[in-house]
């Protein structure tokens, strides 16, 4: 049973990603006009009918986060007021996900606030990938399809790994489940870095659990932001006897000094996905991008036809 014919639209945060999804679906991308007034307010028009359609709006909320989030909310509202049958917010990278709990008094839980905003704007469903904290799915009162890039990243590394020479490394205790799932795809052992964070975007390695000496290591995480933590982890692994060290993550935020840190680090290669666009200034010899557009296209097709999504991307 179909909800209705689908249309896919994109905001300004990652139009290439939306275009790639449409290519995999074999449909044209929906037309919109998105401009700004002189005072910075967003002026948006959906340039074709969406009445009765199953609408998918592709918009990762990456930097500038607030502009892209507001764009997404306005696009949802426009589709709702134009009588779309269902509105699906496709948010490959969910900004504010790291603010998922209170760590001290008088702090917001911004991940929950963003969930409320999307729902209030009129989204009927959210499709996202590798949330920083899985419990964010519970912040929504609408369905959330939580996809993963693990299979895509594992397929990349299948071309280069040797069972005896490689180990998968979780950069912290919280990432063990992700590392275990990734290691199962590659049939490799895992190791865990025990660390503490004295300050935001800083970390200190306390211990390494597992055998990494004489092995090539692949550190897997969900986000690479300033790259300080993960390049420091790579350095410690080398000092403890690891050979080549690779780093990989779903979301390449790569803010501030990230590119320079990766370039100057002991890291052999940094593999990220295209949930966030890699702008020209961030491209570097060590950084490679693999696409998860096909993963989203498969999920969108199944959602549109009311078929199971978990059967395709079950972790």
Torsion sign across C-alpha atoms 47, 49, 52, 54: negative
Q: What is the DSSP letter of 29?
A: P
90 burial level (CB within 10 Å; 0-12, 13-18, 19+): buried
Active-site residue, 264 included: no
CA–CA gap between residue 170 and residue 141 (Å, rounded) = 31
Q: Encode 91-122: b = buried (16+ Cβ within 10 Å), e = exposed.
A: bbbbbbbebbeeeeeeeeeebbebbebbbebb
User: What is the CB-side half-sphere exposure of residue 185 using CA atoms within 13 A?
Assistant: 21
Beta strand extents in the chain (DSSP E only): 6-10, 32-36, 42-46, 54-58, 86-91, 125-129, 144-147, 166-170, 190-196, 204-209, 216-224, 245-252, 267-273, 287-290
Q: At what angle do helices 65-81 and 110-121 cross, to 10 degrees?
A: 20
Residues 82/116, Cβ–Cβ less than 8 Å: no
Q: Which of 7, 195, 215, 269 is catalytic?
A: 195
Active site residues: 195
């Amino acid at each position: 049973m179909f909800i209705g014919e689908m249309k896919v639209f994109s905001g300004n945060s990652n139009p290439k990603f939306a275009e790639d999804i449409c290519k995999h679906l074999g449909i044209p991308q929906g037309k919109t006009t998105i401009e700004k007034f002189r005072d910075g307010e967003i002026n948006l028009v959906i340039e074709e009918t969406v009445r009765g359609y199953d609408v998918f709006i592709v918009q990762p909320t990456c930097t500038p986060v607030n502009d892209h989030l507001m764009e997404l909310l306005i696009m949802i509202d426009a589709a709702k007021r134009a009588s779309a049958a269902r509105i699906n917010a496709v948010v490959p990278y969910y900004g504010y996900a790291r603010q998922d709990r209170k760590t001290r008094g008088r702090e917001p839980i911004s991940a929950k606030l963003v969930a409320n905003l999307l729902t209030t704007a009129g989204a009927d469903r959210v499709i996202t990938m590798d949330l920083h904290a899985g419990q964010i799915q519970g912040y929504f009162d609408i369905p959330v399809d939580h996809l993963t890039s693990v299979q895509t990243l594992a397929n990349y590394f299948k071309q280069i790994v040797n069972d005896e020479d490689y180990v998968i490394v979780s950069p912290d205790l919280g990432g063990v489940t992700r590392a275990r799932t990734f290691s199962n795809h590659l049939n490799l052992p895992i190791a865990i870095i025990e660390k503490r964070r004295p300050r935001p975007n800083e970390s200190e390695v306390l211990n390494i659990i597992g055998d990494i000496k004489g092995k090539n290591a692949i550190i897997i995480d969900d986000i690479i932001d300033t790259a300080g933590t993960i390049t420091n982890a790579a350095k410690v692994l080398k000092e403890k006897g690891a050979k080549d060290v690779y780093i990989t993550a779903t979301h390449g935020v790569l803010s501030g000094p990230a590119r320079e840190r990766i370039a100057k680090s002991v890291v052999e290669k940094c593999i990220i996905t295209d949930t966030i666009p890699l702008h020209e200034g961030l491209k570097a010899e060590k950084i490679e991008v693999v696409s998860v557009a096909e993963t989203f296209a498969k999920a969108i097709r199944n959602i549109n036809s009311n078929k199971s999504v978990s059967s395709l991307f079950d972790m």
